[in-house]
């Protein structure tokens, strides 16, 4: 009886892990910095942690392939929580001092709030682009209502800044 429960639990865990950051499969590399952020934000909307891990990483490659940093699955889940949105758009794509590194500014709308979030995107040796870092502080706390002084650009309520 106990053995059946363990087998059942293992099957449930295996089924649930299909949407996690492990086993990402092949994700087509983005051909520009802006398209990397667009694809990453679409994966956020789809709650596709595997695809997010395939579109985020370092010059060594996507986290889904390199399995780095060691806690990459937890980090991807945190990014998904903070970057959830109803709508998004790319505002700017600015090359940095080296042409293989861009800062892409995206606007995320969540409920009545609009957040301006910078992404650092890097080009890999194969020519594809991946997200390297995201300033999650600028995305607002997903468990709290927005406040105008906290980075919200929507200005939803006249007294939103008061406590």
Predicted confidence pLDDT, tens digits, the chain (163 residues): 444 433 333 333 333 333 333 344 578 879 999 999 999 999 999 999 999 999 999 999 999 999 999 999 999 999 999 999 999 999 999 999 999 999 999 999 998 899 999 999 999 999 999 999 999 999 998 888 776 544 444 443 333 333 3
**Residue at 133 is within a domain:** yes
DSSP symbols for 15-68: HHGGGSSS-----PPBSSHHHHHHHHHHHHHTT-HHHHHHSBEETTEEHHHH--
Residues 6+ apart with CB under 8 A from 77: 21, 49
Distance from C-alpha of 32 to C-alpha of 42, rounded to nearest angstrom = 15
**Residue at 26 is within a domain:** no
Before 69, cis peptide (omega within 30)? yes
Domain range spanning residue 38?
31-150
**Residue at 162 is within a domain:** no
**How high is the pLDDT of residue 143?**
86
**Residue at 125 is within a domain:** yes
Distance from C-alpha of 122 to C-alpha of 77, rounded to nearest angstrom = 21
Distance from C-alpha of 63 to C-alpha of 137, rounded to nearest angstrom = 22
Distance from C-alpha of 123 to C-alpha of 33, rounded to nearest angstrom = 8
**Residue at 15 is within a domain:** no
Place of tokens 């998904």: 80
**Residue at 60 is within a domain:** yes
- Can you give the CATH number for the domain in which 60 is found? 3.10.450.50
Q: Are strands 101-110 and 87-95 parallel, antiparallel or unpaired?
A: antiparallel
**Residue at 23 is within a domain:** no
**Residue at 141 is within a domain:** yes
CA distances from 45 to 48, 88, 91, 98 (A): 8, 10, 18, 30
Q: How many distinct structural domains can be found in the chain?
A: 1
Place of tokens 């406040």: 147
Distance from C-alpha of 29 to C-alpha of 133, rounded to nearest angstrom = 17
């Amino acid at each position: 009886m106990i053995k059946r429960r363990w087998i059942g639990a293992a099957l449930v865990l295996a089924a649930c892990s299909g949407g996690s950051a492990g086993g990402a499969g092949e994700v087509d590399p983005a051909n520009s910095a802006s398209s990397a952020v667009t694809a990453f934000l679409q994966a956020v909307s789809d709650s596709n942690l595997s695809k997010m891990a395939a579109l985020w990483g370092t010059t060594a490659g996507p986290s889904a392939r390199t399995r780095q940093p060691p806690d990459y699955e937890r980090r991807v889940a945190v990014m998904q929580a903070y970057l959830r949105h109803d709508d998004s758009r790319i505002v700017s794509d600015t090359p940095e001092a080296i042409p293989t590194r861009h800062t892409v500014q995206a606007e995320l709308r969540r409920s009545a709030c609009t957040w301006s979030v910078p992404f650092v995107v890097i080009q890999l040796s194969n020519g594809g682009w991946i997200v390297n870092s995201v300033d999650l502080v600028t995305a607002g706390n997903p468990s709290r209502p927005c406040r105008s002084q906290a980075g919200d650009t929507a200005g939803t309520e006249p007294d939103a800044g008061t406590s």
